[in-house]
Structure 1
Amino acid sequence: MATDRLTEVLDATYDCLARYGVRRTTMDDIASTMGVSRSAVYQYVNSKDDAFRRLAERLHTEALVQAGQAAAADAPYAERVRGVLDAKLRLVLRLTGDSPHTAELMDAKARLFGDICLGFTTELRGLLTELFTDAETHAGPSDGTATLSPSDAADVCLALVRGLESTPDGARLLPPAADALLAGLLGGAPQIRPAGSDGATVPVG
C-alpha cells in the first residue's frame, strides 16, 4: 500500500514538473495534484527535492531494466545493441517531448540528478561493452582489421544516441543509423579489439 501511495506521489510530481518545472513546483502543488494535504505527501517523501530525485531514479531505473532485457535477449548481437540504445533514446525523447520542463530530469549537471544521469550512462556503457566483448569472443581471432576495443565501440554507440537525442526525427533514424554503425562494428571481419587492451574512461553525460 505504501508503495502504491509513493507511486501516486511520484506521478503527481511528474505532472507538476511538466506544468511548472523543478524550481517553481511546491509541495502544495504536489499535494493539490493528488487531492491530499501537504502533510500526507510528507509521509512518503522528505521534501520537494526528494520527490524529484525519487522520480528521476524511477524513470532511469525503468529505462535501465528495458536496456538490460534487450541486452539479455535471445537475439543477434546487433539487435541487442540496438535495444540498449533504444532504451536510452526513448527515455530522453519522452522527457523532452512531454514538456519543456521534464527534460530537467536528464540534466547531467543538475544538483539533484547529476549522479543519477551519470550512473545511468555508466550502466548502459557496461551493458554495451559486455555485448561487444562477447561478440568479439564469438567472432574468433582478429584478422588484423580490428580498430576499436569493446569499450570504445560502446562509447561510439552512446555518442550516436546523444546526437539523435537532439534530432526531431531521432526515433525513426535510430534503426538505420545503428544498423549502419553496427555493420562496421559487428559485420564481416571482427572490428573489435580483445577486451582489456584499452584504457578508455567512462564518458560524462
Structure 2
Amino acid sequence: MGADRLPEVLDATYQCLTRYGVRRTTMDDIASTMGVSRSAVYQYVRNKDDAFRRLAARLHDRALERARRAAAAPEVPYAQRVRGVLAAKLDLVLRLAGDSPHTAELFDDKGRRFGSLCAAFGTDLRGLLVGLFTEAGTADGVTAAEAADICLALVVGLQDVPDARRLLAPAADAVVAGLLGEERR
C-alpha cells in the first residue's frame, strides 16, 4: 500500500463501524472492505483501536476546522458566526447518528475509547464560542463562558429533535440575540 492510503483505511474502518460497530469489527473486516491483506492494514494502524481512534480524530478534526472557519469570518455578523460553530457540532452528531446506530460510539464523551477526543472537541468549540462572545460582548449578567455553555446546551438539546438542522438557525439566532450585548444585536 502506498503512503497515502491511510484515508482509505479510515474510510474502510468507518464502513465496518456502520455495519458491525466497534466491538464486532475485526482487522480482517477492515482489510476485506479495502480489498487488501490484514498485514497491509497494519502498515498504517497498530490495531483496531488505533484505527477507530484515528477515525474519530479525523471526524472531530474536520468538524473543528469547519467551526474555526465559521468563527474566523470577520465580515460575518456574530450571530451567524456562532451559528456556524454550533452547526459544525450538530452536523457531526447528526451525520454519525444517521449513518448507523453504531456510530454514536465515536462521539461519546464519557466513552473509554474516544472520550478524550470528544472532550477536547467540546473544549475547543467552547473556546471558539467564548472568544466570539468576548469579542462581541454579552448582555448584562452573562459572561462569555456562560453564553458559550448556553449555546452548546442548545445543540445538545437539538440533537434528538426531528428536523434539528432546520431548527438550529432560528433557535440559535433567538438565543444568541438574547446573549449578545445591545450594541451587537
Pairwise TM-score range, normalised by the shorter structure:
over 0.9
| Count, aligned residues | 183
1:146 paired residue number: 140
Equivalences for 1:126-141 in 2 at 5 Å? 126-136=127-137
Instruction: Measure, in 2, the Cα distance between the counterparts of 1:72 and 1:160.
Output: 21
2:153 paired residue number: 159
Higher alpha-carbon deviation: 87-96 or 168-177: 168-177
Provide the aligned C-alpha RMSD in A. Answer: 1.5
Q: Is the 8 A contact 1:146 1:190 kept in 2?
A: no
2:17 paired residue number: 17
TM-score (norm 1): 0.86
Q: Which runs of 4+ in 1 moved over 4 A?
A: none
Return the index of the structure with the highest Cα Rg.
Answer: 1
Q: Is the 8 A contact 2:71 2:81 kept in 1?
A: yes
Identity fraction in percent: 69
Q: Which runs of 5+ in 2 are unaligned?
A: none
2:85 paired residue number: 84
Q: Which runs of 5+ in 1 are unaligned?
A: 140-144, 192-205
Give per-residue Cα distances to partners, 1:142-189, cap 9 Å, x unaligned: xxx602100000000000000001112111110000011011112636
Output the amino acid matched with 2:143: S
Q: Is the 8 A contact 1:70 1:81 kept in 2?
A: yes
Shift of 1:190: 7.2
Output the amino acid matched with 1:112: R
Q: Is the 8 A contact 2:158 2:168 kept in 1?
A: yes
Instruction: Measure, in 1, the Cα distance between the counterparts of 2:176 and 2:24.
Output: 43
Comparing both structures, which one devotes a greater share of its residues to helix? Answer: 2
